[in-house]
Copies of this chain bind each other. A is one copy, B any other.
Amino acid sequence: MRADARDNRARIMTAADDVFGRSPSASTDDVARLAGVGIATVFRHFPTKTELLEAVLTLRLERLRDRALELAGSDDPGKAFFEFFTQVVSESASKLAIGEALTAAGAAAGEEARAAGRGMREAFNGLLTAAQRAGAVRSDAEMAEVYALMIGASRGATAAKLEPPVRDRMLALIYDGLAPRS
């Protein structure tokens, strides 16, 4: 891909992330307008709205995975785990909207997005294991329920359109439940 085509693709994805994050029913026209490119350019890169949504969802999941891998190098594994958990829940409002837009377009997440999801999950598992080893998270909590808790907190925050202070108090309750048993 030539450099200007690559630039266009990146601008379209950034615009789509923004536009669909705010409104899952937005149109590809809105994306083209925000990206400052013609609609034909959007369709050249992404022949269908589903392909565009899928690319945006994949990008978001890959960014979260990268963030988790970055935090995995931290010398305070407990802080790293809770920071990541908080970031996922805080960012989830628009991430979930992309998922909804895909569903509304009649599509499930495709192989690329699912692979990105698995990568994120694995990186999260690494953060959890390190935090447990460091004694910052109770050792009897398994990945399955801790992950479900993070997804649930994300969806709860989004569904109830929680104000940030309420969201933070909800997270504080969850984190107390994850604390090592004395």
A167→B182 CA distance, assembly (Å) = 24
Contact A166 B145 (CB under 8 A): yes
Contacting B at CB under 8 A, from A38-73, are: none
Contacting B at CB under 8 A, from A111-154, are: 141-142, 144-154
Contact A173 B169 (CB under 8 A): no
Q: Which of A152, A157, A162, A172 has the most CB of B within 10 A?
A: A152
Contact A159:B155 (CB < 8 A) given known A175-B177, A177-B177, A178-B177: yes
Q: With CB as the reference atom, state the residue of chain B lying closest to A171.
A: B145
A155→B149 CA distance, assembly (Å) = 10
B residues near A162, Cβ cutoff 8 Å: 144, 148
Contact A166 B148 (CB under 8 A): yes
B residues near A174, Cβ cutoff 8 Å: 149, 173-174, 177
Contact A156 B159 (CB under 8 A): no
Q: Is A75 an interface residue (CB 8 A)?
A: no
SS class of chain A's interface: helix, strand, loop or mixed? helix
Contact A177 B173 (CB under 8 A): yes
B residues near A170, Cβ cutoff 8 Å: 145, 148-149, 152
Q: With CB as the reference atom, state the residue of chain B lying closest to A158.
A: B155
A178→B176 CA distance, assembly (Å) = 8
**Would you mind naming 20 contact pairs between A and B with Cβ atoms under 8 Å apart?**
A142-B166, A142-B169, A144-B166, A145-B167, A147-B160, A148-B156, A148-B167, A149-B174, A150-B156, A151-B159, A152-B152, A152-B153, A152-B156, A152-B157, A152-B170, A155-B156, A176-B177, A176-B181, A177-B177, A177-B178
